[in-house]
A and B are shown apart, each in its own frame.
Chain A
């Protein structure tokens, strides 16, 4: 039986009402303390051997017979009108097959526009034309032979310059657009009645994903059937994007993503490269590959918006009484923003809140979701401001947070959380880092001249999962199973948790489960983003495996002539009153029989709000003479429901912390204002953390299943661990130095500048302990 219901869906900070199909009945959740044999135990990645032997095939590695190569010609100007394109010299180069540009390319809808080659190119790197040739080298050579007549237009690339009214207006509706507003209580009154107010401006830099596998696709036509192999977080999203761009039937498009070299949010749908590959492949009747190089990746494949954030925060009677948070995000040419005010609205139980968020257009590449988009930036501002307020009123910053962290209700909707263990995260983390050692003026440093400090910050994020998600489980007569679901493993360990949940629910060994994912010919599963995956697909896989198990028991009851109620499946055998019959034995006389189980994710409760919580604690040492910040230790504690695989969960947290340390200390896209060029397009100039930048990371979980969330008790873990680290580090640096650095990344230069500026400041934004400087 299938029925249609309305359900509330949360994705990366925004909540929407959507229709969902309800099919079948849900299972009772695995209870707390229920003895599970595979789920909840450390399991090695099922694709481990493929990855360590070099056998794992990524989109980049695909080589098909007759395959041609496409490359993009990208605008050298941040804003210009493309008046004429002359590809004749490029076409004359031996090995060049075709050139597409705005005057000959078919219309192809892409992100609200009708074409992939704009008349007005809007950032350095915007697509102007594409070449298809026998080899990448020939295609690249041909790019230089395309002659383009540009009419250069005024541009603006910097966030604060774009906000400035005097700057060029690059959009007919202006550069600054309203994005979000939230108000509760009476903020104006609260600030008037406050005992203390802190007002500060925070800035975060543009962070670039730098997935190791760059964006790319290989397109193949077989008659009117298109297959696209793409490095993507959402095969079904790519399918929809291709359907819209190429105007071909959904049923004639198959998207495949086997192994995938990272996405971090930037690979959420179809790209111009996939559309170009499909167009060339159709025109030329042969497979076409279009893969970005590292520099293109950092021009045109998305980024985390730079932000400017102004926070006012007021205390009354030793509590936070009001927060006002205004935020501007550089969306580049993006049509949305990741709202940084999300944590301010929802993390703490504060009665008076006003947030306003703005999208700012600039002549730079569009933003793309980047692991907890908005929340990473916003948590930095909010959690620094809370520490500044705690300092001002002379209270321990963790103690201040505790006053506002215990509420079991979502302050926006007033609804109850399914489960919230934030205070447990505080207790575990404080104990682990030794928070009781913290003093307002920092800790004793390891050497004279150095400063040491402790800091912490909290985290809120979604992660409750959502329908639709479907799975099938085929049980073979030999007792092995194939689980099929249209999800994808972006490196988070999805294949392994699929195998675990299937094996657990079916009662067979993990080694007997084969996982088929990454193909739109499988049942639908959502995007691998928004920390959605485990809590969306897990329940569907469990239901499918239970359905298969139930049918197996029907068969076994008939074959063994035992009542079904007395049978169970355990360790690959049907067990009844002490007798074990291997599944293969049950099917011995039914040789070509296949049991097919299916499962569909049911909607979340309408009465509950599903969130993940956590807290990070950091200990740092700072050299005020060089400005160098060394992070000694990070303690990361997360409340994400049941942990399916402790081995990969720990890796996920460590990875999040490390990426956050890049955001906190070293990663910063630099764009040259006069030319609009990205000056940091490669790893030489854009500093992602290396092995030597990694501190000791202690990972802890409040491993409590959220039995009100879904039948597996799980919530997502992809994004939570990147959220609070930067704020914790910044707070630790402030504790160490007695000086607040409000701009990320905390480069030596910024730290030195803050140290230099400190003695001159008098109260207000600057720290009153600046006189500690030696």
Chain B
């Protein structure tokens, strides 16, 4: 059933988000989620809206280095914090090692969950470069993949970890 929640609340506010190292000023209602702010206000379509209720992980982005579900995070609450999305990973034309490993290990099929998977793995490897398969599984257990790319996601994460060492 459509959730017919009326749009209530105070008027729109000005807020500046730090997204992938760039200050981005937007004018949004306070109840706007970070996911909607990224997709609708900033045109960053990497994070996907799959469930919009915090159950699938396809919208995973990093806030101050920690993975969060952007659909469960208010955009205004991230003001002054560093938001990182999949669009910010590649630098100077080169892919991030996790992105490269995902391609090499065929860690996606349709690719819709991939940006979220990658952000979860990136956060893990930054926090702990030395990881086991169980660590990877714990890190992406909140990132569903309906195509079932899981074995390759784990392999890709382990390969990226090895390369980073």
Chain A residues in the interface with B (C-beta under 8 A): 44-45, 47-58, 60-61, 63, 71-74, 76, 124-125, 137-138, 140-141, 143-144, 209-214, 259-262, 264, 293-296, 299, 490-493, 647-648, 650-652, 654-659, 677, 681-684, 688-692, 694, 697
Contacts and interface: CB of A to CB of B under 8 A. Distances in A.
A474 B146 CA distance: 36
A691 B86 contact: no
Given A74-B2, A651-B149, A692-B141, 6 more contacts: A49-B99, A58-B45, A63-B40, A259-B111, A262-B110, A691-B140
A54 B44 contact: yes
A54 B58 contact: no
A49 B154 CA distance: 19
B25 interface: no
Q: Which of A48, A209, A294, A688 has the most CB of B within 10 A?
A: A48
Given A212-B50, A654-B151, A655-B148, A58 B4 contact: no
Contact of A54 (B7, B85, B110, B140): B85
A691 B106 contact: no
Interface string B47-68: 1111111011010000000000
A143 B148 contact: no
A53 B112 contact: no
B14 interface: no
Q: Which of B58, B99, B112, B149 has the most CB of A within 10 A?
A: B112
A54 B115 contact: yes
Q: Which 3 A-B pairs have the closest CB atoms?
A: A54-B46, A491-B110, A658-B148
A52 B53 CA distance: 23
Nearest to A647: B106
B11 interface: no
Nearest to B110: A491
Nearest to A695: B151
A655 B149 contact: yes
B146 A262 contact: yes
A45 B106 contact: yes
Contacts of A76: 1
16 contacts: A48-B103, A51-B108, A52-B86, A52-B103, A52-B115, A55-B87, A60-B49, A74-B2, A209-B146, A212-B56, A213-B50, A262-B147, A492-B109, A682-B55, A683-B56, A694-B150
Contact of B147 (A61, A491, A691): A491
B112 A58 contact: yes
B146 A211 contact: yes
Contacts of B118: 52
Contacts of B140: 691
A51 B4 CA distance: 33
Interface in B1-16: 1-7
B105 to A, nearest CB: 9
Contacts of B95: 49, 52-53
Contacts of B152: 651, 654
A44 B104 CA distance: 6
Contacts of B85: 54
Contact of A688 (B87, B100, B115, B146): B146
B43 interface: yes
Contacts, number: 185
Given A76-B1, A140-B3, A659-B148, A691 B48 contact: no
A628 to B, nearest CB: 18
Contacts of A72: 2
A63 B2 CA distance: 22
Interface string B27-48: 0000000000001100111111
Chain B interface helix/strand/loop/mixed: loop
A400 B4 CA distance: 57
A75 to B, nearest CB: 9
B89 interface: yes
Interface string B71-99: 00000000000000111011000010001
B141 A690 contact: yes
A144 B6 contact: yes
Contacts of A691: 136-137, 140-141, 143, 145, 150, 153-154
B148 A689 contact: yes
Nearest to B142: A690
A654 B148 contact: yes
A651 B114 CA distance: 15
Q: Which of A44, A72, A293, A648 has the most CB of B within 10 A?
A: A293
B114 A52 contact: yes
B148 A683 contact: no
Contacts of A261: 48, 110-112
B14 to A, nearest CB: 19
A493 B149 CA distance: 13
A259 B111 CA distance: 9
A388 B3 CA distance: 47
Nearest to A75: B1
Contacts of B99: 49, 52-53
Nearest to A72: B2
A141 B146 contact: no
B30 to A, nearest CB: 13
B144 interface: yes
A71 B2 CA distance: 9
A697 B152 CA distance: 11
Contacts of A124: 1
Contacts of B90: 53
Given A54-B115, A262-B146, A683 B106 contact: no
Nearest to B4: A144
A366 to B, nearest CB: 18
B1 A125 contact: yes
Contacts of A125: 1
A516 B110 CA distance: 17
B103 A49 contact: yes
A41 B48 CA distance: 32
A694 B147 CA distance: 12
A142 B6 CA distance: 9
A57 B145 CA distance: 18
Given A491-B110, A491-B147, A54 B87 contact: yes
B46 A53 contact: yes
A45 B112 CA distance: 15
A140 B3 CA distance: 7
Nearest to A677: B1
Nearest to A137: B7
Given A294-B53, A683-B56, A143 B111 contact: no
B147 A655 contact: yes
Nearest to B104: A44
B113 interface: yes
A295 B50 CA distance: 10
Contacts of B149: 651, 654-655
Given A125-B1, A210-B146, A651-B106, A697 B151 contact: yes
Nearest to B143: A691
B107 to A, nearest CB: 9
A690 to B, nearest CB: 5
A490 B150 CA distance: 18
Interface string B112-142: 1111001000000000000000001100110
B99 to A, nearest CB: 4
Contact of A44 (B48, B52, B87, B106): B106
A694 B143 CA distance: 14
